[in-house]
Structure 1
Amino acid sequence: MSVDYPSTEDQALLTYIAHRQAEALSALYDRYGRLLYSVAYHLVGNQQLAEEITLDVFRRVWEKADSYRADRASVRTWLTSMTRNRAIDMLRREGVRPEHNSISWADLTIEPHVDGHSPETAVSQKMQKQRIHAALADLPEEQQEVLVLAFFRGYSHSQIADQLAMPLGTVKTRIRLGMQKLKLVLQP
Structure 2
Amino acid sequence: MSIDEKIMTGIRNRDEQALADLYDRYHRIIWNIARQADPNHSVCEQLVTHVFRAVWTKPQDFMHHRKLLASLIDCCRTQLLFLHNKT
TM-score strictly above 0.5: yes
Partner Cα distance (2:55, 2:44) in 1? 17
Q: Which residue in the other structure is 1:49 paired with?
A: 43
Q: Which residue in the other structure is 2:58 paired with?
A: 64
TM-superposed CA distance for 1:45, in Å, is: 2.2
TM-superposed CA distance for 1:24, in Å, is: 0.2
Q: Which residue in the other structure is 1:91 paired with?
A: 84
Structure 2 unmatched runs, 5+: none
Partner Cα distance (1:22, 1:35) in 2? 20
Aligned counterpart for 1:75 among listed residues 54, 68, 86: 68
Is contact 2:51–2:76 with CA below 8 Å preserved after alignment? yes
Q: What root-mean-square deviation, in Å, do the aligned CA atoms of Structure 1 and Structure 2 show?
A: 1.3
Partner Cα distance (2:83, 2:63) in 1? 25
Q: Alpha-carbon deviations, 1:87-134, whole Å to 9, x = none?
A: 1111111x1xxxxxxxxxxxxxxxxxxxxxxxxxxxxxxxxxxxxxxx
AA partner of residue 24 (structure 1)? A
Matching of residues 32-181 of structure 1 within 5 Å: 32-71=26-65, 73-93=66-86, 95=87
Q: Which residue in the other structure is 1:153 paired with?
A: none
TM-superposed CA distance for 1:67, in Å, is: 2.4
Matching of residues 4-19 of structure 1 within 5 Å: 9-19=3-13
User: Between the two proteins, what is the percent identity of the paired residues?
Assistant: 27
Q: Which residue in the other structure is 1:119 paired with?
A: none
Is contact 1:15–1:66 with CA below 8 Å preserved after alignment? no
Is contact 2:30–2:48 with CA below 8 Å preserved after alignment? yes
Partner Cα distance (1:53, 1:17) in 2? 19
Q: TM-score, normalised by structure 1?
A: 0.44
Give the structure, 1 or 2, with the largest relative contact order (CA under 8 Å, sep 6 or more). Answer: 2
Question: Displaced runs of 4+ in structure 1, greater than 6 A?
Answer: none
What secondary structure is seen at the aligned counterpart in 2 of 1:20? coil
Q: TM-score, normalised by structure 2?
A: 0.91
TM-superposed CA distance for 1:48, in Å, is: 0.9
AA partner of residue 75 (structure 2)? M
TM-superposed CA distance for 1:79, in Å, is: 0.4
Partner Cα distance (2:72, 2:24) in 1? 13
Q: Which has the larger radius of gyration?
A: 1
Aligned counterpart for 2:21 among listed residues 27, 31, 48: 27
Q: How many residues align?
A: 86
